[in-house]
Amino acid sequence: MKSSVEQLDPTRVKISVEVPYAELKPSVDEAYKTIGAQVTVPGFRKGKVPARIIDQRIGRPAVIQEAINNGLDDFYRNAVEEHDLKPMGQPEVEISEVPGLDGTEDGELGFTVEVDVRPEVTLPAYDTINIEVDPIEVTDADVDEELEQLRTRFGTLVAVERPAAKDDFVTLDLVATIADEEIDTASDISYQVGAGTMLEGMDEALDGLSAGETTTFETTFAGGEHAGEQGTVKITLGAVKERELPEADDDFAQLASEFDTIDELREDLRVQAGKAKETEQGVQARDKVLEHLIETLDVPVPAKIVTDEVERHLESENRSDDDEHRKEVTEETERNLRTQFILDAVSEAENVEVSQPELIEYLISASQQYGMNPNEFAQMLDSSGQVNALVGEVSRRKALAAVLAGATVKDTAGNVVDMEAFTSAGDDAEEAGAEDADATAQSAEAADEAPAEAAEEN
C-alpha cells in the first residue's frame, strides 16, 4: 500500500491511498464468504456457494463493493499511522479507482480522504511565563463572613406574618400557561426569594406578596419542550418563613465546633478563611496561566468541527436563528478547542499518564458537580462511551498543573508564590480540576472516525 498526504490548511489534510489488488484480496475472499452465507441458490448449501455462481447471481461489482467497505477502514488507519496524523471528526472519502470488476486480479484500489487533524502546537518554555495574582489577606470581615455562614447552617426557619422579602423561604403553588393553554403545574414548592434559580421574573413577583395571595408574571421558559417560549405563570403563596440565626457566643461555639469560646472559634475560622484564599489564589494562577497560553499561542481550529458543534448546540436549544447567541457559542467552542489542543500538546510533551486512582478521584469530584452518585455517574459515562473523554480531562488537568509548576507566580506586592501545594495531587488541586469538567467536555469530540460509511455512499 502506498499513501501520501497533502496539507490543505493547518487543520485539514488530504490523504491519497493506492492499494494493490493483492492486499485487497483477503477482503474479497471474506466478501464471498459473507455473501455466500446470505444468499440462497438451488443446489448449494448456504455458505458453500462457489464464487463464480455468486458472480453470476449477485455480480462481481457487489462483491468488490463489500470487500472495499470491509477493508477501507484498515487501509485508512494504516495511512493515518504511517504519517503520524491525529484525525478529528468525520472523514470524507472519495474512491477514484476500483480493481477486479472484470474478474481479473489486477489493478489498484485508489481513494482519497479529506479529514480534519489536530494542529501542531509549539509550546513555550514554562519558566518564561510570568503570572501576577492577588495576595492572601484575611480580614475581620472575612472571619465575620465565615461565622455568618456557620450560623446559617445552624439557623431555624420561623413562620412570619408579613409580606415576603429577599432571602425569605416560601412555599407556593405554580401554574404555567402559554396562550391560555396549561403546560405545567406544581404544588408546595419550597423556594428562597432572591435565589434566582427558578423562573425569570419570579423573585420580583414574590417580593411583597403575602401568604394566601396570588399573582401572575410573564416569563421566558428556559428548559424543556417549551424552552425559549414566552408564557404566563400564576403563583399562590402558601407561607413565608425567615431564617433565625443563633447568637454568636460561647454557647454557639460549643454547639457548632470543638471549641469552648467564640474567640477560639473565630481564630479557627480565620485559619479556614486563609486556606480558602490560598485555593482561590491557586485557581486564579491556574486560570491566568491558561489564559496566557491561549492568548500567546497561535492555535488554529478546524472550521468544520466548530460549525458542526455550534449547529448541534443551537439545535438542542432551538435557537438556530439567534445570530447573537450563535456568535457567543462559536467563540466558546473555538476557545474550548484551543484549550484542548494546547493542553493535549503539553500532556504529550510531558508524557502525562493517568492512573486508575487519579481517574477514580476525579470521577468522584465530577459526580459531585452533577449531584450524582459516583457509581451511577461512572455507569452513565461507560454506557455513553465517555470514559476516554474523562481520561482526557484528567490528563489535561495534570498538563495544566505541569505548566503552572514551571511558571513564575508573584502576588501584586512582588512576593513569589509557591504553587507546589496547588500543583501536587492534593485535595485542592482535585477540587479545582473538577471545576473544568463542564467547559472542556463541551468542546467538539476529537476522535478519529472510520470512513467505511462514507465509502459506501460513494
**Predicted pLDDT at 45:** 80
| Paired residues of 117 in beta bridges | 87
Q: Is 131 left (phi over 0), alpha (psi -120 to 50) or beta?
A: beta
Cα separation of the two ends of the chain: 21
Give the pLDDT of residue 333. 95
Residue 7, all three cell numbers = 496539507
pLDDT at 425: 52
Summarised one tens digit per residue, pLDDT across range 110-137 is 999 999 999 999 999 999 999 999 999 9
Residue 190 vs residues 144, 168, 186, 241, 269: alpha-carbon distances, Å = 28, 11, 11, 10, 31
Show Cβ contacts of residue 122 under 8 Å, excluding neighbours closer than 6 positions: 297
Question: Along the 458 residues of the chain, how does pLDDT read in single tens digits?
Answer: 999 999 999 999 999 999 999 999 999 999 999 888 888 888 888 778 888 888 888 899 999 999 999 999 999 999 999 999 999 989 999 999 999 888 888 899 999 999 999 999 999 999 999 999 999 999 999 999 999 999 999 999 999 999 999 999 999 999 999 988 999 999 999 999 999 888 999 999 999 999 999 999 999 988 778 888 899 999 999 999 999 999 999 999 999 999 999 999 999 999 999 999 999 999 999 999 999 999 999 999 999 999 999 999 999 888 888 899 999 999 999 999 999 999 999 999 999 999 999 999 988 988 888 888 888 888 888 888 888 888 999 999 999 999 999 999 999 999 999 988 888 754 444 444 444 434 444 443 433 444 444 444 44
Q: Are 169 and 156 in contact (CB under 8 A)?
A: no
**Residues 6 or more apart whose Cβ sits within 8 Å of residue 359:** 390, 391, 394
Taking residue 84's Cβ as centre, other Cβ atoms within 10 Å add up to 7
DSSP run (H or E) holding 95: strand 87-97
Give per-residue burial for 224-261: e unless 16+ CB within 10 Å, then b: eebeeeebebbbbbebbbbeeeeebeeebbeebeebee
Closest among 54, 58, 5, 1 to 25, alpha carbons compared:
1
Report which DSSP code applies to 33. Answer: H
Q: What is the pLDDT of residues 281-331, one digit of tens each?
A: 999 999 999 999 999 999 999 999 999 999 999 998 888 888 999 999 999
Look at residue 385 in the predicted model and tell me its pLDDT: 85
Q: DSSP for 294-352?
A: HHHS-----HHHHHHHHHHHHHHHT-TT-HHHHHHHHHHHHHHHHHHHHHHHHHHHTT-
What gap in Å lies between CA 317 and CA 369, rounded to an integer? 22
Return all residues near 236 (Cβ < 8 A) that are at least 6 apart: 172, 173, 212, 213, 214
Which residues, listed in sequence order, are joined to residue 108 by a DSSP beta bridge?
20
SS3 (DSSP) at 175: strand
The C-alpha angle 301, 302, 303, rounded to 5 degrees, equals 110
**pTM of model > 0.95:** no
Q: What are the strands of the beta sheet with 12-20, ordered from one edge?
A: 2-9, 12-20, 108-117, 87-97
Q: What is the pLDDT of residue 173?
A: 94
| Number of neighbouring beta carbons within 10 Å of residue 126 | 17
